Structure 1
C-alpha cells in the first residue's frame, strides 16, 4: 500500500504524452478519442510525473484503461496507487463494477481486488467495447471487481 494518493489531472485522449506512453508499452491507442473515455496524468506531491491511466464508463460499469507507470518510477508500487485512484474515480461516477482486460497486469489487478471472469460471462456492453471486441488480443484475460 502506498503512503500517498497520486494527483490526478484530466487529460485529453489526443494528448501526445499519453499516446507515447501507451505506444511505448504496445498498448491500444486507436480508440483514445472515442466517446465515454476519460484519461488522467498522475503526479506525486512534488509534481513529478508518475504515469497515465483512464477508464471507459458504460452506465454503471467501468472498463479500466491502460495504466502506465513511467519507466523511472517503476518498482515502487505506483501501479497499485494509480489503479486504485481510477477505481475511486469510477466509484464517484456511480459505477458499481469494474472490469480489466490485460495480458500483463494480472498481479496488479489481483492486488487491487480483481478476480478472473470468463470472457463470455462479461456484460454485453463490456463485450461490445472496442477494447474487448477488437483492440485487445484474444489472449487478454478479463478480470472484475465490485466497487
Structure 2
C-alpha cells in the first residue's frame, strides 16, 4: 500500500471525524468498542505474514530477472573479457587499428573517441579506447581465432 493511499484514507477519516458530534466521538472511542489486544495481535501477525510472503515473491522474481540479466552476453561484457592484460598490448592493438588504413583514419575511429577529453594519457583511458574500438568492431578477439 502506498503512502499516498494511506494519506488519502487518513484524510477521509479526518473529514468524517470532524463532522461527528462530540458525544458520538466519545461513544465510539469507548474501550468496549475497540478491538481487543488479541484481535490486534492476530491482525498484525496476518498482515506481517502476507507482507513477508509478497516480499519473498518479489525478491525471487527480481533475483531471476537479475540472473537472466547477468547471463546476457553483451558486447560490452565481451569487450571487457577480451581486454588484454598489459597496457602495452592495448596500445599496440590501438596503433595497429589506426595505422591499418594507410593515410586515412578508420571510419569508426572518431566514433570511438567522441567523448574523449584531450590531455588524458593514462592507462585507464587507453583501456576505455580499446573497449570502444572492440565494440565498434575495429579490434578482433584474438582468442576466438
Give the TM-score normalised by the residue count of structure 2: 0.19
Task: Look at both structures and tell me which one has the larger radius of gyration over its CA atoms.
Answer: 2
**Higher strand residue share:** 1
Give the TM-score normalised by the residue count of structure 1: 0.19
**Higher helix residue share:** 2
